[in-house]
Structure 1
Amino acid sequence: MTLWRIRATVDDRPGYLSVLTASLALRGVNILAVQVHTTEAGAVDDFLVDAPDTLDEAELVAAVERGRGRDCWVARSEARGLADQPTRALGLATRLVRDPEDTGGALRALLGADEVAWLPTRVAGGIDGTTMQLPDPAGGSYRLRRAAPSYTPAEYARAQALVELAATAARRAADHVTLVLPDGAELLVRPATADDLAGVRELHEGCSARTRQRRYFVGAALPSPARLRRLLEPAEGLTLLATTTAGPGRPAGRVVAMANLVAEGDEAEVALLVRDDWQRRGLGTALLRRLLGQAERAGVAAVLLHVQAENGPMLRTLRRLDRPATLERDGSVVTVTVPVTPAAAPARAADPVASAAAPPPRRSR
């Protein structure tokens, strides 16, 4: 028996696929897998079959045509073709997460392309027979070509999803930066993921009760796992983690700070938690600057920070940002609003954050 790939167009009508499969079965062809690609010209059926060694390509084409198939393409397949399409796509997705630069190779493997080229110009995506063009979210575009068969809309959608995944993975890799603090200590700053739950819980356990109370306002108890999960991957926004790098007596990967940016409309709320032994070393300022940069790229008009009036270290951190800000005090809580787009920036006050120590009038409710 020999493995073959067969692709043919069949009228998208009840019973037509069964006529084609019956024609193949009469010749001892065993269908191992089938995918149906819907097109304007009809249903394109893609088969992986096991056929008797006595059948050649011409006889398989004839069997398809007798089964009311047209535009038939037949080619020998290998054992790896036995892996179904979802399994192959997931494998390629894993490959791209590890190496986003291999997008061209992943596209070639996904679609069996003979040629994959990256173009510096961005073009409209689409398919034209055996040529496919895909916009690259990072800029430019990909052009794929193969001798046969023609590409289908379903294949275009798969390729587009793979390219978007690669761009996301590349952006995440670019967001991993090494931060050097004024005292020479090095930390890795990166976006958080759901896999960081254990490390973030350890961060909270390593903070003093006072530090946790300053961050959450409502007591010093550890946040629930459900709340930590929401903080790690907010629906709208970003969470950054600072983790240790390897050094004498210091294991790599320990989370020592967490900075949250949660967007709502044209504003975003920012909060910060730094382990006690890493405070007063410039880490909080560096994390807040990165979050403000992210807010600017996201088009947020302003960020809000809620700070306890007695939290002098945090107020000094805000002052070091050297940005215009407005303050409102409500009892023991100071709300600091920092514009992040030029249109939203008010006239700069003289040292506004430093004035938080002197209670302004309570705002009306």
Structure 2
Amino acid sequence: MALWRIRATVDDRPGYLSVLTASLALRGVNILTVQVHTTEVGAVDDFLVDAPDHLTEADLRAAVERGRGGDCWIARSEARGLADQPTRVLGLATRLVRDPDAAGEALRALLGADTVTWRPTPAGPLGGVGATTMLLADGSGGSYELSRREPTFTPAEYARAQALIELAAAVVRRDDDRVTLVLPGAAEVSVRPATVDDLPGVLRLHEACSDRSRQQRYLAAGGLPSPARLRRLLEPERGLTLVATAGIEEAEPVVAMGTLLAEGDEAEAALLVRDDWQRRGLGSALLRRLLGHADRAGHAAVSLHLSAENTPMLRTVRRLGRPTSVQRDGGLLTVTLPLDARRAELLDARRAGLPRQADATGRAGRTH
């Protein structure tokens, strides 16, 4: 028996796939795996088959055509082809988490591409998939261009490849958020994205903070937040939480955390710094990094909800040297820092109930 890969287009109607599989079965061909790629012209079925040794490529092609399959592509396969596609994709994803620079090699392995070329120019509106070429947007900047003589690319393969590239870009952004800061007095702190594994350290951080510090962070009585609430803050559905540890080792105690929670075009930032680490520039450093993340994510503005008595945090905001707007509601202040002038104007217009200004094409402008 010999392993073959067969790809053919079949009408996406009930019963047509069974006609093709029956035609293969009549020749003793055993179908090991099948993937269905939905396209505009029909379903592209990708088979890994085990065929009798005496069958040739021409024999298999004839069987596919008798089974109403079109645009047939056939090639010999190796034993490694027995690994199913989800397993292969997960393996490549694991590799990218360890080495995001291997994105090109991962794409080649995923799609069997003849060439993979990275270019510094963005994919732009021309990004997408053609019969023999594919253009992928690189979230870190630039684009990947892939080519393959056969079989033709499918939209499903494009979606898998783009997801893999986005994973590599996310890993790069995560690593970019890992920094070592040297504060006045030569103290070193390590800042990195939080994970749920930081829950014990963050709990100890809250226990070590004074009631006043906790009240200023949560605008409520200075009690301890529940572990369930802190777990949600450590890995927000939309946004980012950074933790700062006293030293460069991850096992060092957590001395501060900064959270960015996103909702629509705007994000909300909040900080908690252990009392003995306050007034050393740590809060300012965390806030700057949160603002940078919000800007890269395309938010129009970042707001902070503060007690009017929280003068240290107000000084931290002023030290950023950014334009701000302040709204007061009793003892509560909402400080807003615009990130992009055009996006902020659109956000303000929506808040005021005004129509968005049309763009050059006459359509309503979109915010990102």
SS of the counterpart of 1:337?
Answer: strand
Unaligned runs of 5+ in 2: 346-368
Is residue 205 of structure 1 aligned with residue 207 of structure 2?
yes
* Partner Cα distance (2:285, 2:33) in 1: 54
1:360 corresponds in structure 2 to: none
1:145 corresponds in structure 2 to: 147
Q: Using a 3 Å threshold, how does the CA distance of structure 1 residues 93 and 296 change in structure 2: closer, same or farther?
A: closer
Return the offset for 1:329. Answer: 6.5
Q: Using a 3 Å threshold, how does the CA distance of structure 1 residues 329 and 46 change in structure 2: closer, same or farther?
A: closer
* Partner Cα distance (2:153, 2:323) in 1: 55
Return the offset for 1:236. Answer: 4.4
- The more displaced of 16-25 and 139-148 is 139-148
- The more displaced of 295-304 and 108-117 is 295-304
1:339 corresponds in structure 2 to: 337
Is residue 178 of structure 1 aligned with residue 180 of structure 2?
yes
Q: Using a 3 Å threshold, how does the CA distance of structure 1 residues 184 and 120 change in structure 2: closer, same or farther?
A: same
Q: Using a 3 Å threshold, how does the CA distance of structure 1 residues 167 and 267 change in structure 2: closer, same or farther?
A: closer
1:126 corresponds in structure 2 to: 128
Deviations 1:95-127 (A, max 9, x none): 222222211111111111121111223341233
2:77 corresponds in structure 1 to: 77
Q: Using a 3 Å threshold, how does the CA distance of structure 1 residues 203 and 78 change in structure 2: closer, same or farther?
A: farther
AA in 1 matched with 2:190: L
AA in 2 matched with 1:260: T
1:279 corresponds in structure 2 to: 278
Q: Using a 3 Å threshold, how does the CA distance of structure 1 residues 289 and 76 change in structure 2: closer, same or farther?
A: same
* Partner Cα distance (1:89, 1:26) in 2: 33
Equivalent pair of 1:328/1:336 in contact (CA under 8 Å): yes
Taking structure 2 as the reference length, the TM-score comes to: 0.81
Percent identity, aligned pairs only, is: 70
Larger Cα Rg: Structure 1 or Structure 2?
A: 1
* Partner Cα distance (1:94, 1:241) in 2: 24
Equivalent pair of 2:219/2:306 in contact (CA under 8 Å): no
- The more displaced of 227-236 and 184-193 is 227-236
CA RMSD of aligned residues (A): 2.8
* Partner Cα distance (2:28, 2:259) in 1: 62
Is residue 259 of structure 1 aligned with residue 261 of structure 2?
no
SS of the counterpart of 1:261?
Answer: strand
SS of the counterpart of 1:121?
Answer: coil
AA in 2 matched with 1:50: D
Equivalent pair of 1:23/1:67 in contact (CA under 8 Å): yes
Q: Using a 3 Å threshold, how does the CA distance of structure 1 residues 253 and 101 change in structure 2: closer, same or farther?
A: farther
2:366 corresponds in structure 1 to: none
Size of the alignment, in residue pairs? 340
* Partner Cα distance (1:199, 1:29) in 2: 58
Return the offset for 1:207. Answer: 2.8
* Partner Cα distance (1:296, 1:6) in 2: 47
* Partner Cα distance (2:33, 2:268) in 1: 51
AA in 1 matched with 2:38: T
Is residue 22 of structure 1 aligned with residue 40 of structure 2?
no
Q: Using a 3 Å threshold, how does the CA distance of structure 1 residues 140 and 296 change in structure 2: closer, same or farther?
A: closer
Taking structure 1 as the reference length, the TM-score comes to: 0.82
Deviations 1:165-201 (A, max 9, x none): 2222222222222211111122222233344333322
